[in-house]
């Protein structure tokens, strides 16, 4: 593909524009703010969101959405999940072709509970959606530190076309047909990352975090399977891979937000002072509601929800998690393979 648009000039959008520039002749990076457009154009660096990463000459920056998306072979959506529908509605009347649309947002739409690929299908029914997910921090990908990711789509040819678009000698990209699992793994891990951050903020140790990550993955897989995902996907890059990096890295916005909550700061105060979006807050509410709809037990998500939206004390949330009724580690295994145990 020769002409690609990246919609969203935050840290991740900027990093992906840098990656795509190695494979594509023309990459257009769109930002909604004209002043940011002028600043990046002048310096070839997004100082606000990804300082230290220089954009190649074949990356053009614009604040004109029509100029960004028209006559493009692929559109890469790198905006927060709660703005995806709105930006797609703006893009729809501007398109005269049917480009591949790759979602890089990791979230679930509130109220509808739709995944991002489903939102794309509703708003751009003529286009074929794909999803990019995995353990990738912009700060590392933009600096060409070796990383791996996964592309999923309903259509194999679409997934492979997107794979070819992104893969470089520094950015390894795999394909996976399990669109539901890839999207849910990327979205739901942010909830567990909030819990891991709260644990760090409370001063707990590695044992606590290991338990949260492991049991958190169990929750994600349990809900994902109920929604039609393949359990093996959660053992891959968009599952345990993304969960590990988001729960442990200093680059993780969700972990950082959780840490501040654990240290006693109010949620609204933290969010109002954040430079970039932490997807986990909205995703926690959507995940908790999804779990109730599907009758799936998600104790960690439940406690994070109560801390965020009901003002529950994080210390008490930990007490309540630890005091839950005794159970098997893997109930599904016992019920299916060890019935007499």
Residue 76 lies in a domain: yes
Residue 337 lies in a domain: no
Q: Could you give the CA distance from residue 269 to residue 273 in angstroms, rounded to a whole number?
A: 7
Q: What are 108's strand-pairing partners?
A: 115
CATH label of the domain that carries residue 108 = 3.40.50.720
Residue 99 lies in a domain: yes
Residue 14 lies in a domain: yes
Name the domain boundary from 133, 159, 177: 177
CA distances from residue 26 to 10, 58, 62 in whole angstroms, order as listed: 19, 5, 13
pTM of the entire predicted model = 0.93
Q: How many independent structural domains does the chain possess?
A: 2
168: domain range? 3-177
> Does pLDDT of 333 surpass 70?
no
Query: Using the 8-state DSSP alphabet, how is residue 283 labeled?
Result: H
Helix, strand, coil % over all residues of the chain, rounded to 5: 55, 15, 35
Write out the catalytic residue numbers.
189
> Does pLDDT of 335 surpass 90?
no
Q: Could you give the CA distance from residue 256 to residue 246 in angstroms, rounded to a whole number?
A: 10
Residue 277 pLDDT grade (very low, low, confident, very high; cuts 50, 70, 90): low
Residue 79 lies in a domain: yes
Residue 339 lies in a domain: no
Q: Answer yes or no: are the C-beta atoms of 128 and 156 closer than 8 Å.
A: no
Name the domain boundary from 157, 177, 197: 177
Residue 171 pLDDT grade (very low, low, confident, very high; cuts 50, 70, 90): very high
User: What is the rounded average pLDDT of the residues 175-196?
Assistant: 96
> Does pLDDT of 314 surpass 90?
yes
234 & 138 share domain = no
162 & 238 share domain = no
Name the domain boundary from 177, 194, 209: 177
172 & 199 share domain = no
55 & 154 share domain = yes
Instruction: Give me the pLDDT at residue 276, please.
Output: 59
Residue 133 lies in a domain: yes
239 & 112 share domain = no
Q: Could you give the CA distance from residue 236 to residue 254 in angstroms, rounded to a whole number?
A: 21
23 & 143 share domain = yes
31 & 129 share domain = yes
Q: Could you give the CA distance from residue 305 to residue 141 in angstroms, rounded to a whole number?
A: 31
30 & 149 share domain = yes
């Amino acid at each position: 593909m020769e002409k690609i648009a990246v919609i969203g000039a935050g840290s991740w959008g900027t990093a992906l524009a840098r990656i795509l520039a190695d494979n594509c002749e023309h990459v257009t990076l769109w930002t909604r703010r004209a002043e940011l457009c002028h600043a990046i154009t002048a310096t070839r660096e997004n100082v606000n969101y990804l300082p230290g990463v220089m954009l190649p000459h074949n990356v053009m920056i614009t604040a004109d959405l029509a100029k960004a998306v028209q006559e493009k072979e692929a559109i890469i959506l790198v905006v927060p999940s709660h703005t995806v529908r709105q930006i797609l509605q703006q893009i729809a009347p501007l398109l005269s072709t049917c480009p591949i649309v790759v979602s890089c947002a990791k979230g679930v739409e509130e109220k509808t509970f739709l995944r991002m690929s489903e939102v794309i299908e509703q708003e751009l029914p003529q286009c074929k959606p794909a999803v990019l997910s995995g353990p990738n921090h912009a700060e590392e990908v933009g600096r060409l530190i070796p990383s791996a990711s996964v592309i999923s789509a309903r259509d194999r040819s679409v997934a492979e076309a997107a794979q070819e678009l992104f893969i470089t000698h520094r950015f390894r990209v795999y394909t996976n047909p399990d669109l539901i699992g890839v999207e849910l793994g990327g979205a739901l891990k942010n909830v567990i990352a909030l819990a891991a951050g709260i644990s760090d903020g409370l001063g707990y140790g590695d044992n606590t975090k290991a338990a949260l990550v492991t049991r958190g993955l169990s929750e994600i897989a349990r809900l994902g399977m109920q929604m039609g995902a393949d359990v093996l996907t959660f053992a891959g890059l968009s599952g345990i891979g993304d969960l590990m990096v988001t729960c442990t890295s200093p680059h993780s916005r969700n972990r950082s937000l959780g840490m501040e909550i654990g240290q006693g700061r109010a949620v609204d105060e933290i969010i109002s002072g954040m430079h970039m979006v932490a997807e986990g807050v909205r995703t926690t509410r959507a995940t908790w509601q999804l779990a109730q709809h599907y009758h799936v037990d998600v104790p960690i998500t439940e406690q994070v929800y109560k801390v965020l939206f009901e003002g529950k004390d994080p210390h008490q949330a930990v007490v309540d998690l630890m005091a839950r009724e005794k159970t098997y580690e893997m109930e599904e295994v016992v019920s299916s393979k060890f019935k007499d145990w």
